Each structure stands twice: as structure tokens, then as C-alpha cells.
Amino acid sequence: MSSKLLITGGCGFIGSNFVRLARRVRPGQALVILDKLTYAGNLENLDGLLDDPEVSLVRGDIADRRCVAAVLDRGVDRVVNFAAESHVDRSIEDASAFIQTNVVGTQVLLEECRRAAVKRFLQVSTDEVYGSLAPPASARSDDPLTPSSPYSASKAAADLFALADHKTYGTDVVVTRATNNYGPYQFPEKMLPLMITQALEDRPLPVYGDGLQIRDWIHVEDHCEGLLLALERGRPGRIYHLGAGEEHTNLDMVHRLLAQLKKPPTLIKHVTDRPGHDRRYSLDTGSTRDELGWAPTHTLERGLAQTIEWYLSHRGWWDKIKSGEYRSYYERLYGTGGRYAATTSEVTRGSQVP
């Protein structure tokens, strides 16, 4: 049977960008996408790609063993696991789906990959597993994991299961950890697309606490290029760090967006801080860059301008999302009586200052 790459979570933000990249740069590689199509999965993210005879889609759950086994038995020889519950605020509301998909789902995938003698398993993970870091420290891949949120705790557990699979059974597992992604097709619950779409609607931009939390922003295409290299060149049992070195406060990012959109800073509303909010994430990417021969190519300025352009020219895509189930989510969090309803002008105590 011919070679097939399974992409779980391929209907989400990063997974769909990865499918697009893989079709462009590895046109001979057949792809199977397995996606549960949760609220975050969207067939429109694969616009045009599903007509391609080399791309097939199965709607299913990575925690459903029978479904996973049937998909792997189609001749899959490598797997990239993007499938996850990915939003920190939702994990604070209720962690059960995070445990079920991120932990149980990953463990089912690993076991079934072993049974089906899959040649390589790439687990897509996050810088959040290291917890908050005071400047100027950057996390190295042998640093201890100190996750703060239920989301990052579930991702850390999944990483440990993946690495344990390699150590115990000798399977070929690679883990990547990346910083905050931005770019096209990102669901508007995440900070950047939330702020862009709110500003376009002249609605308030809810900044948690003092807004001085720091994230490193990587363009999703740079992340996907790193993932492809890790899949092809990474060594079994290794952890690779994918970050752009673009560390900025949330307030700085919001001001950049407003300036590009020509909207007034008065739209910014400081609200109650996120519980357990990590103050800063940062990855040491040196050895990954050397070993994989990878480096990001998007500048933040250009990448943000392109991202804003994309949201401007795809209003139908996000209008549809924002008028559906999303409305009750938004009201629950940001509406009257919601966790982030209260305006605050002072530094709040939610953030984890390392």
C-alpha cells in the first residue's frame, strides 16, 4: 500500500494550514485527515483542498479506538497529532473534554499506532507546558514541566505519554512545542482574531488584567514549516522548540492591531484577569534551529498586516462563527455577569508572576 500521512485535527487552525503547506511542498504525499469537527473544526478551513484526490477526510474522534484503528489500516505510515481542545479559557470552565481528547485521545492514538506499526508519530505541543518564566530565561527542552492551566496540564500529560511510548516500547515519537501562533483561519476566541474582529465591529477589546503578559508570536506558516522538518528530520524521542523570538506584551499587540486598523485605543477595556494567568512564555529555539535547519521567515509587522488583510477579506468566515454557538460562549465569558465582564483600571492579581 502507498505511503499516507494522517493529520488529526486537520480542520482546525494550525492543522488546516499544515494541510495546505503539505499539499504545496510535498504534492506526492497522500493525506488523510481525522477530525471530530468540534466547535473549532471547520470544513471551510480546508476550502478547495477536499477536491484533491490525494486528500481524504474522516469525521471521527481520536479517543475512539475502533475509528482510529480503521483509519490507520488505510495504509497510514506517519501521524501528526494536532487534534486537541486548545483554548485555555474553555479549560478553566470545564476540563473534562481536555482530559478526554488531549490525554485519553493521545494515548489511544499512540497505542493504535504501535499496533499498526506506524513509522513515526509527531505530537504537536506547546510552550505552555513549562509554565510562566521570568525574563530573560527561555525554556530548554530538558526543563521541568510546570503547567498552570487545565489546558497546559493536559498537554503536558499527553507529551509525557508520547515520550514514555518511545522510552518503553522504542517507538519513533517526536514532540514539538511551539509558541503562540497567529495567521489565517484562527478561531476568534483566541486573542488576536478576537481583538481584530471586535475592532472591526467597533466593539470593546477585553484585555485581561494589566495586559503586560508576554507571549512569543509565531506565524502559523513558520510553525508548519518547522513541523514538516521535525517530521522528516527529527530524531526519535527528541523535543523540538518552534518559536519566533517575537516577545511582546498583549497590550503592545493590541495597540499594533488598532494602529493598522485605524481604530481608536479607547476600544481597549481592561477586564478581570484570567485565573492562574501565566505572565510570560519563552522558548530557547537554538538547538532546534541548528538541528532541523529551520528559521521563521515572517516578520511580525508583515505577518500581522497579512493576517488583518485575511480577516478583512474573509468576513463571511468569521461572521458565520460569531453568529452561531460562539454567541453564548462570548456572553458566558464577556457578557454581563461573565468572568471577564468587570472593568478594572488597576493591576489585578490573577497573573502568575514567576
Positions annotated as catalytic residues are 127-128, 151
Please list the residues that pair with 352 across neighbouring strands. 278
Amino acid residing at 222: D
Q: Which residue has the cell 502559523?
A: 220
Q: Is 185 in the site for ligand DAU (CB under 6 A)?
A: no
Measured from each CB, the residue nearest to ligand DAU is: 126
Q: Is 194 in the site for ligand DAU (CB under 6 A)?
A: yes
Q: Which of 4, 5, 7, 9 binds ligand NAD (CB under 6 A)?
A: 9
Q: Is 41 in the site for ligand DAU (CB under 6 A)?
A: no
Q: Is 149 in the site for ligand NAD (CB under 6 A)?
A: no
Question: Which parts of 20-64 are beta strand (E)?
Answer: 30-35, 55-59
Q: Which residue has the cell 479549560?
A: 91
Closest separation between CB of residue 38 and ligand NAD, Å?
4
Q: Which of 6, 19, 71, 84 binds ligand NAD (CB under 6 A)?
A: 84
Q: Is 63 in the site for ligand NAD (CB under 6 A)?
A: yes
Residue 106, all three cell numbers: 493521545
Q: Is 126 in the site for ligand DAU (CB under 6 A)?
A: yes
Closest separation between CB of residue 180 and ligand NAD, Å?
5
Q: What is the largest CA-CA distance in the chain?
A: 62
Q: Is 239 in the site for ligand NAD (CB under 6 A)?
A: no
15 versus 234: smaller Cβ distance to ligand NAD: 15
The interface region with ligand NAD, picked from 118-126, 130-138, 319-327, 339-347 by CB under 6 A, is 118-126
178 versus 258: smaller Cβ distance to ligand NAD: 178
Residue 271, all three cell numbers: 477586564
Q: Could you give the 3-state DSSP secondary structure of residue 260?
A: helix
Q: Which residue has the cell 490573577?
A: 350
Among candidate residues 280, 211, 217, the one with its CA nearest the CA of residue 252: 211
Q: Which of 4, 20, 36, 298 binds ligand NAD (CB under 6 A)?
A: 36
Q: Is 191 in the site for ligand DAU (CB under 6 A)?
A: yes
Among candidate residues 244, 240, 232, the one with its CA nearest the CA of residue 298: 244
Cα Rg, the chain, nearest whole Å: 20
Q: Is 105 in the site for ligand NAD (CB under 6 A)?
A: yes
72 versus 230: smaller Cβ distance to ligand DAU: 230
In angstroms, how far is the first alpha carbon of the chain from the final one?
52
Q: What is the DSSP string of 123-139?
A: EEEEGGGG----TT--B
Q: Is 5 exposed, middle or buried (0-12, 13-18, 19+ CB in 10 A)?
A: buried
Q: Is 33 in the site for ligand NAD (CB under 6 A)?
A: no
Among candidate residues 49, 51, 68, the one with its CA nearest the CA of residue 10: 49
Residues 183-202 that bind ligand NAD (CB under 6 A): 187
Residues 272-311 that bind ligand NAD (CB under 6 A): none
Q: Which of 42, 132, 176, 180 binds ligand DAU (CB under 6 A)?
A: 180
Q: Which residues bind ligand NAD (CB under 6 A)?
A: 8-9, 11-15, 34-38, 40-41, 61-63, 82-86, 101, 105, 124-126, 155, 178, 180-181, 187
